[in-house]
């Protein structure tokens, strides 16, 4: 027997209509290439979204067509999120930081019909265009005055493209499981894989993301997503911001520029922001160097990779509480969120420090389990560490056009590729990437735990740990360190400093100093490159 | 093209599993008939829920079977919400305050298979049982020591019923559109009508209900639903409390007992509560009489009927901010919620008073429109008032077994039966029930506005306004007043006091004093009964 409730579909269109009607007065503030500070309201935005929908219809896109964006966070990119998805097409956000070959692969694999691009990526696309078989045209996200000369075929200027279009549009009734947007993950091995979000997954992720136990977003908030809009939909803020009526602040191409971020926070009274550790390092560095303050900013979420405790403490000196978040492109991205809880105040400082660096608590909607190498479920005791498997309405069930590579196991679980321990209250600690875990004498060593321990030494600027082969233990950890500039690091002292912070047998056999540690396009340490670099290294 | 997201179903089971695993330590505190203060954790609760699921399976219920409850808010009722719905049956909460004939009608119409009842309703059921054709058994919600002697056939004691059952249960995989629970609306005319909620509608309502713009619920909250669990699922708190991990406090049969409520608030540190105006009147009366305080209680939501400004002001003296909420059984119930917004602080006191008594802002997920008598859509300008129509995933599309009476119009809109004005920010003001609106000289007079204005006169304890026939104007308003005890009310003075508060032509032609105003079973003024009572009254 079914319930007698309306069959209302969960669509991005419903977010747009709600925001337009209820939160129309809320503002969107952007830095763009052609404007240092563009301001308008949601009502203005959705008026232009309807113009763009008419323009897309004029070009003749069909339902399900992929349309790419190659752009930073600003109001035009925001408009495309809605005009493309609510028209029934798929908004495919491409990461412009990838290698040109990867961008070419991604656009061809997705068979994108059009590319919307920031002016700064026009030269890149000019180089690639002859190899982009399906792309029929380009729209440069700027106005006529700033439109660059270009050899791109069928190139339009964004403002001209929509200028003559009507401000009203009859939105199609979309089915909630229809595709809305797309993002490719750039793993460390193999070709990038496409994750295809649905209207339903996006709406559910947005509602849960705004709840008090997660981002806690309301109309009075001023939210600045520094995480790129090409990186898992700016972690959902381009959707849940409008849903709740928060003011949105987009830093455009100035993502890791302390000066721009500080000015925006202060002029727009940003109280919540989102980004990877690199961004917060840049901000803290700038504030410490200049003595400037950021009074309005209360809390930020840090994701993408683990946030060192030292960075959290630095941020706290500037009045900002750092919440860890964990997720992935395949999870839209929300999996867990670490919000300080009242009961934590009763813990010792050391306990609190241990608690706050964890990946956070499982959010409602996501099911998790951890399993050992034989797929046996492990207990949630905060100690047992295993492969982290997830399920949920915003977790991918497969990759785009990779039907031969199932993304989930027979019971429908998606393997995150992370190793984790979970405690009895659902707090997740990511202990390693499965492929980075070090297998020593049949036991697992968490490279992340060792790295975090090493990071707390004052001479260590960045640390990475990889497993290298060992005649007796199969693998043993090697610590690779970038020393703090001007320091005179001593490897024995650094290794000795780990004592008491990690299990004795986890202590690396050796420590080497380097000037650079390779990173992936999304800012994570590339263990694969490090292992290549140190493949000749062996313990004897 | 569909997205490649998991087909995870939104079920009450997912709330239960999340709460059990993540929020297992949070408490549920209850007053019951057999225990003045019962305390246990969610983990304890769901262990017993699994025992009950085994017991229900033992009896042999089929998927979709309706099982009735006739009970106050306590932990056993909470357990039934989950054991029944997550087993695939329908938890049919029956309002024990209805007339016995209505209860008989409802149980027969729903074809309930079993009735779970508080001990105090056993005598009532003993009278009815021979006329309850489909009911095969009864479970009295108490322990063996308190089990009453009863002539009920196939009667069980709750604790004995589950005592020998296993604490593990293999929950069925339910489809999200399957029926989970049921509540009959007792309109003022005709037979009660059944609303059949689905797992999906319940989960969506729970998530949105917990967001910061609505109830704003987190793990650190202590929530006391004084709204009955037989009244639209206690407005969702039996679901979103566990979802976020809030502590729940159930007052049992002591719903409008100031002493019990005050003790519970203070001993359990309740910070958020929910109820109808009658409850808050009782609480304020008790506090004023005894001089007691309720330090922990910060805010309450008041729904069910309009909350007079004077009551809000009284509550504020005790440190409690009253949020208006609006909805109905057919809407699960959430439609709008009035949370104070930062910008409101800039208003004058009079503006703030006007804003706060409104029904609140449209919540995300619910679409609204107002229409005139010819079904033309009216503007959202805060002035135009029309019939309020709604849509959304937790709005009913029909009534149970009333296929011949469509609940929605051709475009899928549900007519709420309320008249409302909506402003450009989505704030809803309920101006009247459509059937209570007074039609004077071709224009509409809002009886609610006139009642609110009259309520602010110090000699008025309760006021009701109805239309009575008038030779020239068709109808003119009549003010009916219960005077404050000990006052010497003057009808001309009361009518004169309305001057400036309502339009001149809305002023009632006359005012009459009565000792009692009839109310419906859900505590609303019964305008139908009043009109019957004054049917001989006529202006000349």
B540 vs A: CB within 8 A: no
Entry pTM: 0.90
Domain boundary assignment for chain A: 8-254, 437-533
- pLDDT, residue A522, reads 66
- The answer to whether residue B185 is catalytic is yes
Residue in B with minimal Cα distance to A178: B2
CB A307 within 8 A of CB A322: yes
**A233 close to B (CB below 8 A):** no
Q: How far apart are CA B150 and CA B142, in angstroms?
A: 13
HEC assignment per residue over B183-242: EEECCCCCCCEEEEEEHHHHHHHHHHHHCCCCCCCCCCCEEEECCCCCCCHHHHHHHHHH
CATH number, domain A437-533? 3.30.300.30
pLDDT tens digits for B235-292? 999 999 999 999 999 999 988 799 999 999 999 999 999 999 889 999 999 999 999 9
Nearest CB partner across the interface for A6, out of B1, B14, B412: B412
B285 interfaces chain A, CB cutoff of 8 Å: no
All residues of chain B having their beta carbon less than 8 Å from the beta carbon of residue A427 are: none
Q: Is the distance from CB of B275 to CB of B227 less than 8 angstroms? A: yes
Give A445 to chain B, closest Cα distance, Å: 27
Catalytic residue among B185, B188, B260, B354: B185
What's the per-residue H, E or C state across A347-407? CCHHHHHHHHCCCEEECCCCEEEEECCCCCECCCCCCCEEEEEEECCCCECCCCCCCCCCC
Q: For chain B, how long is the longest CA-to-CA vector?
A: 73
Task: Kindly determine whether residue B414 and residue A6, on different chains, have CB atoms separated by under 8 Å.
Answer: yes
| Model confidence pLDDT, tens digit, residues A211-249 | 999 999 999 999 999 999 999 999 999 999 999 999 999
| C-beta of residue B507 within 8 angstroms of C-beta of residue B494 | no
Any bridge partners for residue A388, and if so which?
A370
> Which one of 2.60.40.10, 3.50.4.10, 3.90.1330.10, 3.30.300.30 gives the CATH number of domain B439-533?
3.30.300.30
Mean pLDDT of chain B: 94
Interface of B with A in 359-378 (CB under 8 A): 361-362, 364-365, 367
Give yes or no for residue B540 having a pLDDT over 90.
Answer: no
For the ranges B67-76, B182-191, B202-211, the lowest mean pLDDT is seen at: B182-191
Determine, for residues A213 and B412 on separate chains, whether the beta-carbon distance falls below 8 Å: no
- Tell me the pLDDT tens digit for each residue of B374-423: 899 999 999 999 999 999 999 999 999 998 878 899 999 999 999 999 99
How much is the pLDDT for A189? Answer: 60
Q: Which residue has the tokens 């940003």?
A: A270
Contacts of A190 by beta carbon, 8 Å cutoff, 6+ apart: none
- Kindly list the residues from chain B whose CB atom is less than 8 angstroms away from the CB atom of residue A236: none
Q: Chain B contacts of A3, Cβ < 8 Å?
A: 177-180, 196-201
pLDDT at B536: 83
Of A489, A434, A443, nearest to A463 by C-alpha is: A489
CB contact under 8 A, A218 and B207: no
Looking at CA atoms only, how far is residue A490 from chain B in angstroms? 44
Of B439, B448, B457, which is closest to residue B497 (Cα–Cα)?
A: B457
Task: Return the pLDDT at A256.
Answer: 79
What pLDDT shows up at residue A278?
Answer: 86
Report yes or no: B414 at the A interface, CB cutoff 8 Å: yes
Q: Is residue B522 very low, low, confident or very high in pLDDT (cuts 50, 70, 90)? A: low
> Is B439 considered catalytic here?
yes
Give pLDDT, residue B187: 62
- Would you tell me how many other CB atoms lie within 10 Å of the CB of residue B292? 15
Site from A1, A199, A344, A393 to mutate, B interface, most B CB atoms within 10 angstroms: A1
CATH of domain A8-254: 3.40.50.12780
Separation of alpha carbons B430 and B420, rounded Å: 4
CA-nearest residue to A221 within chain B is B342
CB of A173 less than 8 A from some CB of B: no
Q: Is B466 helix (H, G, I), strand (E, B) or coil?
A: strand
In order, the DSSP letters of B341-397 are: -GGGGGS-HHHHHHHHTS-EEEPTT-EEEEE-TT-PBPP-SSS-EEEEEEE-TTSBS
Chain segment B40-58, per-residue pLDDT in tens: 999 999 999 999 999 999 9
Cross-strand bridge partners of residue B525: B519
Chain A, residues 322-341, CB within 8 A of chain B, namely: 332, 341
* Full pLDDT tens readout for chain A, 540 residues: 999 999 999 999 999 999 999 999 999 999 998 888 999 999 999 999 999 999 999 999 999 999 999 999 999 999 999 999 999 999 999 999 888 999 999 999 999 999 999 999 999 999 999 999 999 999 999 999 999 999 999 999 999 999 999 999 999 999 999 999 999 997 656 789 999 999 999 999 999 999 999 999 999 999 999 999 999 999 999 999 999 999 999 999 988 799 999 999 999 999 999 999 889 999 999 999 999 999 999 999 999 888 889 999 999 999 999 999 999 999 999 999 999 888 888 999 999 999 999 999 999 999 999 999 889 999 999 999 999 999 999 999 999 999 887 889 999 999 999 999 999 999 999 988 888 888 887 677 888 888 988 988 999 999 999 998 888 888 899 999 999 988 888 999 999 999 988 888 889 999 999 999 998 766 778 888 898 898 888 776
pLDDT, residue A245, reads: 97
What average pLDDT does the segment B445-455 reach?
86
User: Which pair of tokens denotes residue A494?
Assistant: 């650094």
User: Looking at residue A187, what is its pLDDT?
Assistant: 62
* pLDDT digit string, tens, across residues A169-217: 999 999 999 999 999 997 656 789 999 999 999 999 999 999 999 999 9
Q: Which of residues 89-128 of A touch B (CB under 8 A)?
A: 90
B7-25+43-214+228-244 belongs to which CATH class? alpha beta
Report d(CA A67, CA A137) in Å as an integer: 10
| Total residue length of chain A | 540
Choose, from B439, B443, B474, B505, the residue flagged as catalytic.
B439
């Amino acid at each position: 027997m079914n319930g007698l409730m309306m069959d209302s579909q969960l669509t991005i269109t419903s977010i747009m209509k709600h925001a337009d009607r209820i939160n129309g007065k809320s503002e969107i503030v952007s830095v763009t290439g052609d404007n240092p500070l563009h301001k308008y309201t949601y009502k203005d935005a959705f008026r232009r979204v309807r113009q763009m929908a008419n323009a897309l219809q004029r070009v003749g896109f069909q339902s399900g067509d992929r349309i790419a964006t190659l752009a930073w966070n600003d109001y035009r990119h925001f408009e495309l999120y809605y005009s493309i998805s609510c028209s029934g097409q798929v908004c495919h956000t491409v990461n412009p930081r990838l290698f040109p070959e990867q961008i070419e692969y991604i656009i061809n694999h997705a068979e994108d019909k059009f590319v919307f691009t920031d002016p700064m990526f026009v030269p890149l696309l000019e180089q690639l265009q002859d190899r982009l078989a399906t792309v029929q045209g380009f729209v440069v996200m700027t106005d006529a005055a700033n439109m660059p000369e270009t050899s791109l075929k069928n190139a339009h200027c964004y403002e001209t493209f929509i200028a003559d279009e009507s401000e009203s549009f009859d939105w199609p009734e979309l089915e909630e499981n229809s595709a809305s947007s797309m993002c490719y993950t750039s793993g460390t091995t193999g070709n990038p894989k496409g994750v295809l979000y649905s209207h339903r997954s996006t709406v559910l992720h947005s509602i849960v993301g705004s709840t008090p136990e997660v981002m806690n977003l309301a109309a009075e908030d001023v939210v600045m997503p520094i995480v790129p809009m090409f990186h898992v939909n700016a972690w959902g803020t381009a959707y849940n911001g409008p849903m709740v009526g928060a003011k949105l602040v987009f830093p455009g191409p100035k993502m890791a520029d302390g000066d721009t971020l500080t000015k925006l926070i202060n002029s727009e009274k940003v109280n919540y922001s989102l980004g990877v550790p690199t961004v917060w390092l840049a901000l803290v560095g700038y504030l410490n160097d200049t003595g400037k303050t950021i009074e309005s900013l209360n809390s930020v979420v840090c994701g993408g990779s683990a946030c060192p405790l030292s960075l959290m403490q630095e941020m706290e000196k500037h009045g900002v509480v750092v919440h860890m978040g964990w997720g992935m492109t395949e999870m839209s991205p929300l999996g867990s969120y670490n919000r300080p809880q009242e009961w934590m105040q009763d813990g010792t400082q050391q306990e609190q420090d241990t608690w706050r660096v964890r990946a956070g608590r499982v959010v409602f909607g996501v099911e998790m389990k951890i399993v050992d190498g034989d797929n046996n479920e492990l207990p949630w005791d905060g100690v047992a560490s295993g492969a982290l498997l997830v399920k949920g309405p915003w977790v991918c069930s497969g990759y785009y056009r990779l039907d031969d590579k199932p993304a989930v196991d027979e019971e429908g679980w998606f393997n995150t590729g992370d190793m984790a321990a979970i405690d009895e209250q659902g707090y997740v600690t990511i202990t390693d990437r499965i492929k980075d875990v070090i297998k020593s004498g049949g036991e697992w060593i968490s490279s992340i735990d060792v790295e975090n321990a090493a990071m707390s030494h004052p001479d260590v600027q960045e640390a990475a740990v990889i497993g290298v082969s060992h005649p007796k233990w199969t693998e043993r950890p090697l610590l690779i360190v970038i020393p703090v500039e001007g320091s005179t690091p001593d490897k024995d002292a650094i290794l000795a400093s780990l004592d008491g912070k990690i299990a004795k047998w986890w202590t690396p056999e050796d420590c080497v100093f380097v000037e650079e540690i390779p990173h992936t396009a999304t800012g994570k340490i590339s263990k694969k490159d490090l292992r290549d670099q140190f493949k000749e290294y062996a313990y004897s």
